[in-house]
Amino acid sequence: MKQRKASLKRETKETKIEVAVNLDGSGKANIATGIGFFDHMLEQLAKHSLIDITVKAKGDLHIDGHHTAEDTGIALGQVLKEAVGDKKGIRRYGHFDLVMDEARSSVALDLSNRPYLIWDAKFTVEKLGEMDTELFQEFFNALAHAAGITLHVENKCGTNNHHIIESIFKAFAKALRMAVEIDPRAADQLPSTKGAL
């Protein structure tokens, strides 16, 4: 089986980011964004997707975390798309409904090359650690568009904001794992009747 890995370096006036993924890894995470809570969520993404993820980001955090979160989403989306490759043999679709104590979140996605984000999650605090809670939507929007993912995120219940966003990241990880896995019954087939994705 070919190796499904990709990496890139992305540099702008606002951020300098290095990202690498191995879709067939074991969930190893090497994360340093300068935003502690964001690092924690990206570590959850690696662990529960079984995708090895490296993210090294240096952004203009003296302004705020917006550019770092958004550009990390762009870079991670780009390497995920590259690592998936021609999409032959993948399951393509993934979905997961996940509970974390009182919080429950559902994520459904399609590696369709038709990027779209539906975001239905609300927070009652402005920050978790040093991360603005509004930046989670920005991250997932950037990732979905760069990776070509149709992504639906719904928080169904929850009162603890930490649990709410962590349940979203874990549900996304499980759904992504499902979507990028090779289907042994269709390992050489493109999962589309159109003949292209």
- Reported as a single tens digit per residue, the pLDDT across 125-163 is 999 999 999 999 999 999 999 999 999 999 999 999 999
Residue 49 contacts residue 25 (beta carbons within 8 Å): no
Average pLDDT over residues 63-76: 97
The residues pairing with 93 across neighbouring beta strands, listed in sequence order, are 110
- If pLDDT is split at 50, 70 and 90, which confidence band does 196 have? confident
Nearest to 176 by CA among 105, 99, 100, 92: 92
Cα–Cα distance, 51 to 79 (Å, whole number): 12
- If pLDDT is split at 50, 70 and 90, which confidence band does 188 have? confident
Residue 35 contacts residue 131 (beta carbons within 8 Å): yes
pLDDT of amino acid 85: 94
- If pLDDT is split at 50, 70 and 90, which confidence band does 16 have? very high
27 token code pair: 């969930």
pLDDT of amino acid 197: 83
Q: Give the torsion sign (CA, 156, 161, 164, 165).
A: positive
Q: 128: which residues sit within 8 A by CB, 6+ positions away?
A: 37, 161, 162, 165
Q: 192: which residues sit within 8 A by CB, 6+ positions away?
A: 92
Domain-wise residue ranges, the chain? 5-180
Average pLDDT over residues 173-196: 91
Cα–Cα distance, 38 to 35 (Å, whole number): 5
Q: Is the pLDDT of residue 92 over 90?
A: yes
Q: Is the pLDDT of residue 94 over 80?
A: yes
Q: Is the pLDDT of residue 57 over 70?
A: yes
Cα–Cα distance, 173 to 139 (Å, whole number): 14
pLDDT of amino acid 163: 98
Cα–Cα distance, 61 to 50 (Å, whole number): 29
Average pLDDT over residues 38-52: 98
Q: What is the C-alpha end-to-end distance of the chain, expressed in Å? A: 21
73 token code pair: 């989403």
pLDDT of amino acid 194: 85
Cα–Cα distance, 175 to 86 (Å, whole number): 19
Q: Which CATH number fits domain 5-180: 3.30.230.40, 3.40.50.1220, 1.10.760.10, 3.90.320.10?
A: 3.30.230.40
- Quick: pLDDT tens for 82-91: 999 999 999 9
Nearest to 111 by CA among 14, 6, 19, 196: 196
pLDDT of amino acid 1: 63
Q: Is the pLDDT of residue 33 over 70?
A: yes
Mean pLDDT of the chain: 96
Residue 183 contacts residue 90 (beta carbons within 8 Å): yes
